[in-house]
Chains A and B, each alone.
Chain A
């Protein structure tokens, strides 16, 4: 049976123009969505590159000035920007801590619209003032971006529904089912093969188009392409398994279409929204404004007590004690000492906020297994490196780098040291290192388990029904 289904299914699909329609539609959607995604990536790359160029220019200027000073020349520069001062370097010659987009970034805009992808930590600015959010269009935030993930997670199931909702009911309504069912075949197997072949041809079309789109975007990672395709195919399998269930268990084309659209609404629209709502209800996070207000109050308090704080700080750090008359203490010493204290005092507040956020995220992470749309969206986002988790990793690394940056200048500042062109060679640099985990395997397994459960339940229900009433009993 399989050979003949294989031989004629493609003929039927070609002659009824289904293959042409689906190929054209997917081609347009993929090209447009990947173009949108790559535009954003280009913009992001250009911004990062511009910031890096600015650093290069200012570094060249800084080295030139240091060279002049070291040779005993006078330089024309504002007093607070003289590059021999560690604070001047720490504040006015910061490094760019950038989250470079990965080569598959174009498939999912994800959170890249919400979070910034480069910052320049300075010694005088505290960690809380590093702004990781950027201004975005509220309309875009509401509807998301028209990227490949949107096409795959939201639109592809609709195309699958249109392509598969009436495989069996069409035979019934056209009148060919009775002739078909009189052949020595199992209708269940026949529907399975027909849907399997439709899945196969759709997978072939998607593979060819994806290959083209990836080549256009200069993606050279074979494993990236394979992971991308594996995720799409597993997500497609889920929707084809639902179509299998509805074809066998419902019956009429109109009812089938309505049932599948209903399931699309549940899995793609309703579940993600419900999960988010329950997260908000069960794990209420204190308003961010409240936290910002508390930080401000602590800061104001610290500024008032800077001298006292500095004394305490020096008591805790004898290595910075004034040893000779050449050393002095000024505003920056007090300020830097108060920053350290502020950090320690705010730790419990920040931790409690982070814990609540983590609890909420854990809850959502658990419930994501109820929606294949969330699983696929997150996994594709991870492939693109644009999920909240990726930005959290980036922010964490930026904060570590900010600490490293400050620590580089602290001994210089408190020992009244001078910044030199030799020290410029050892300035800390930031490099974003994406976290790797087993999200891809777990997502693929999750989708496959869902598919198997649906198939198993469908086959059991259909067998029970056909035993009771016969294959056309309903």
Chain B
């Protein structure tokens, strides 16, 4: 479970995140929408312990991230916007390395199986990742998350730059993880994808969570209009 409680991050006078409180339960996908600088990535960085909160708490399965940075990471998988791997290592080697340093020793068959589950074609397993497309790298990232058997998955604009097919495949993979009772928090600009896969959607602006919806209770056009109004793009709203 992912929880934030009045989570706040300030840089001097600038407030990057202002008293964010949200909960993502196991088996839920929470999509955070918002323009650049809304505080989405800051939220994820605070949940990963990359940043220290000014006030409030970020909890992973009830444990405070700020005070248990390393132990909470055992339960988190993270896929950044531009996932980069070691270019001179193959997909299997990258997966072996990242899961290995995290404490999981996996046999070769399991590594191949995880890459297959993540949707990577088998002929790419033993190719160096230096020549991989972003979509292929994201799939290795998903395999790393799968290997970790994480209870919480944090995604920072994972579909940006992916072609529609790859984006669709990625959405389906997340649905699969959701079925496995993983709590997923995804920061994205992609309203369509958010509506398609999310169980809950939040709209952020200037570090504040301004709107929250249950995805099934809102249509895509209403979501779009609400988003544009919230962002003050009135001329674009219907």
Binding site for B on A (CB under 8 A): 1, 3-5, 7-8, 11-12, 15-16, 174-176, 178-186, 190, 467-473
Contact = CB atoms under 8 A, between A and B. Distances in A.
Contact of B83 (A16, A179, A186): A179
Contacts of A470: 45-46, 49-52
B82 A175 contact: yes
Contacts of B98: 179-180, 183
B73 A182 contact: yes
A187 to B, nearest CB: 10
Given A1-B101, A179-B144, A185-B70, A469 B88 contact: no
A184 B88 contact: no
A184 B71 contact: yes
Interface string B78-94: 11101111111100010
B48 A182 contact: yes
A469 B62 CA distance: 22
A24 to B, nearest CB: 19
Contacts, number: 91
Nearest to B77: A182
15 contacts: A7-B97, A8-B86, A11-B93, A15-B88, A175-B80, A176-B85, A178-B78, A182-B48, A182-B77, A185-B70, A468-B52, A471-B50, A471-B69, A472-B50, A473-B51
A4 B97 contact: yes
B161 interface: no
Nearest to B140: A179
B88 A4 contact: no
Contact-residue size bin, chain B (C-beta under 8 Å from the other chain) = 35 or more
Nearest to A1: B101
A176 B71 contact: no
Interface of B: 45-46, 48-52, 69-71, 73-74, 76-80, 82-89, 93, 96-98, 100-103, 128, 141, 144, 154
B101 A185 contact: yes
Nearest to A193: B101
Contacts of A184: 70-71, 73-74, 102-103
Contacts of A175: 80, 82-84
Nearest to B148: A183
Interface centre among A7, A180, A182, A190 (most CB of B within 10 A): A182
Nearest to A472: B50
